[in-house]
Structure 1
Amino acid sequence: MHNAQPWRFRYARESGVFRLYADFERTLPHSDPGNRALHLGCGAALFNLRVALASAGLHPDVTLLPDPSDPALLATVQTGPPGARDAGLARLHPAVRERHTSRYPFAETDIPEDLCAALAEAADTEGAVLAFPGSWHLRWIEELAEEAEARNLTDDGSKEDLARWTRTGAAEADTASDGVPEYAFGPRKHGGRAPMRDYSGGEAPGGLGSVPFESNPHLALLSTPGDLPRDWLTAGQAMERVLLLATLEGLATSFSTQALEWPDLRWPLRNPVTGTGHVQMILRLGYGPQGTTTPRRPVRDILVIEA
């Protein structure tokens, strides 16, 4: 959430093991009090590491939550010998740099059914479920997202999180290494049903204006059977696999997390007919601009290499 980048890696040269740690100094205490979203973000970073290793011809052997006494240690990754390359992971490597969150309107063009099926299969490969809600369920999700957005704009805690992780003004936005800079806010929504977050906090950022968004957004729910840290890390990896494949296939992507930030709104996101699974993320997919590059922390701040 909010490009907080709450992860740290340590690599031991001698053993060839990466360790992924949560950075609990980069939390969102009001919007993510249980650190669920933090784990999703770290899971996505973990998946990108797996992709990078596969692209280099190495086999990543992942163990989630290897030390129950250390909740900050989220995963270890043992790098296998060259020759055990995972072609499915490796082909996603170009999309790691190409994928950016797009907060712009998408076309009203339908996504082909075979592509939706491929994205669902990508989530299933990682142990999660990606579902594309039907018309009545979709409208219900949109209503929950609108309710959550309205709450966030008047909730002091949500506004504090937003203020901490948004970078306004050219000087701050151009030098930031994290957070959402003003140039990546995207235009304000004027009409349409796309569940967009107002990163300006209700104050129109200079020059961005407002534009109509899609009337029939393509939303997908990413769910897991359980709702514990291991499930959140699983969901983060599945989310990133879906996002990278979508990018390779020419789709633009963004997130809708507002309803997930309120417990009384998150639970009703599930399909009331099946009533199974815990929704971990709402993805917005479509054909449109790929989005703007956002800042990244320097490698020295997130990676320590041990002898």
Structure 2
Amino acid sequence: MGTQQLDTKIVAEMVAEAVLAPSMHNAQPWRFRHVASESALLVLADLDRAMPRSDPGNRALHIGCGAALFNLRVAAVHAGCAPVVRLLPDPAEPLVLASVQLGEAHPPGTDEDGLARLYPAIRERHTSRYPFEERDIPQDVRAALHRAADHEGAELLFPGPWHAETVRELVHDAESRDALNPEGMEDLYCWTRLGPEAETAVDGVPEYAFGPRLRDGKAPLRDFAGRRPVADRGTTAFERNPHLALLSTPGDAPAEWLRAGQALERVLLEATSAGLATSLTSHALESPDLRLLARDPVAGRGHVQMVLRIGYGPQGPATPRRPVRDVLDLV
């Protein structure tokens, strides 16, 4: 398989798709480096966007970068490349999380991983913090989401009623801890955008993406407003029987977190392609003791990396992204 000499416009277009991935509080903790002589794109961690209180081990940072890496793979296939990925390729450069060799697709149009069909969903996918319908997800759709996670080396488990209730209680416990320890809210306040700042933001979660406050129902949602007033936000009832899914990996080290991020984005794009809306919560996973309890003691295996809420409902609004010029280096 040969490599391609890609012009900077195509590289920039790939990165523009990559940065549409979700990340904790939309901090976008990534950078990209195009090494033209090697026809490679590197994904790097941006530690200036780490969250020392909510994510002291940078687990969520790696998951976000893994999601961006998956989008990059999809965009590369769309551009006619056959991406070859190496995770953590150089121990001497720990900030380099992945290298993507941009090989020529051979024969043209080959897409062994089934990535090309997911390309339209990259721009359609948005986190939805709105109520979903009380409507079941068909079994064939659940199976497709399960296969998507499995393809990336992760497991997607749809918990039964008692386990789903446990997960919801863990989210509530996490919220209660935040209320008792205001310092735990520092990262959230740092990465939320209120008032005029929301209209000009290039990162973080703007107030127009908070969604309404939960008046009734059991949807596990983080309230990004906290105790701060948000004009015209309102309250409403959410679904009483939300469909939750737990994404897990066998191990719990940086390479596994990157795989979790790729699996997460693959699941989200599959769900979007199937007409589903999604939201994420890692709130209960930010405390080691609560995270351990999130795993199903009977059916669960490995380490829970993310809790997904999936259902039929409105897609959320697009949240801001940093310009490509601010995240892409050309060497």
**TM-score normalised according to structure 1 size:** 0.97
Q: What is aligned with 1:101?
A: 127
Please, which runs of 5 or more residues in structure 2 have no aligned partner?
1-23
2:157 to 126, 131, 147: 131
Alpha-carbon displacement from aligned partner over 1:187-216 (angstroms, at most 9, x marks no partner): 000111100111111234110111011000
Q: Secondary structure at the match of 1:14?
A: helix
Q: Per-residue deviation at 1:19?
A: 0.7
1:150 to 176, 182, 204: 176
Q: What is aligned with 1:236?
A: 261
Structure 1: distance between partners of 2:212 and 2:137: 23
2:294 to 269, 273, 294: 269
Q: What is aligned with 1:175?
A: 200
Alpha-carbon displacement from aligned partner over 1:235-280 (angstroms, at most 9, x marks no partner): 0000000000100110000001110111110001111114521000
- Farther off after superposition, 151-160 or 71-80: 151-160
Alpha-carbon displacement from aligned partner over 1:48-91 (angstroms, at most 9, x marks no partner): 00000011111000000011122111000001113263261011
Q: Secondary structure at the match of 1:91?
A: helix
Between the two proteins, the alignment pairs up a number of residues equal to 305
Structure 2: distance between partners of 1:14 and 1:137: 51
Q: Which runs of 4+ in 1 moved over 4 A?
A: none
Q: What is aligned with 1:78?
A: 101
What is the one-letter code of the residue matched to 2:179?
L
- Farther off after superposition, 137-146 or 272-281: 272-281
1:214-233 matches, within 5 Å, as 214-233=239-258
Alpha-carbon displacement from aligned partner over 1:110-136 (angstroms, at most 9, x marks no partner): 000110000000000000000000011
Structure 2: distance between partners of 1:202 and 1:172: 18
State, as a whole percentage, how many aligned pairs show the same letter: 62
Q: What is aligned with 2:139?
A: 113
**TM-score normalised according to structure 2 size:** 0.90
Q: Secondary structure at the match of 1:114?
A: helix
Structure 2: distance between partners of 1:153 and 1:288: 30
Alpha-carbon displacement from aligned partner over 1:130-154 (angstroms, at most 9, x marks no partner): 0000011111111111111221233
Q: Secondary structure at the match of 2:247?
A: strand
Q: Secondary structure at the match of 1:255?
A: strand
What is the one-letter code of the residue matched to 1:110?
D
Q: What is aligned with 1:63?
A: 86
1:20 to 18, 43, 49: 43
Does the CA-based 8 Å contact 2:219-2:238 persist in structure 1? yes
Structure 2: distance between partners of 1:181 and 1:168: 6
Structure 2: distance between partners of 1:107 and 1:152: 29
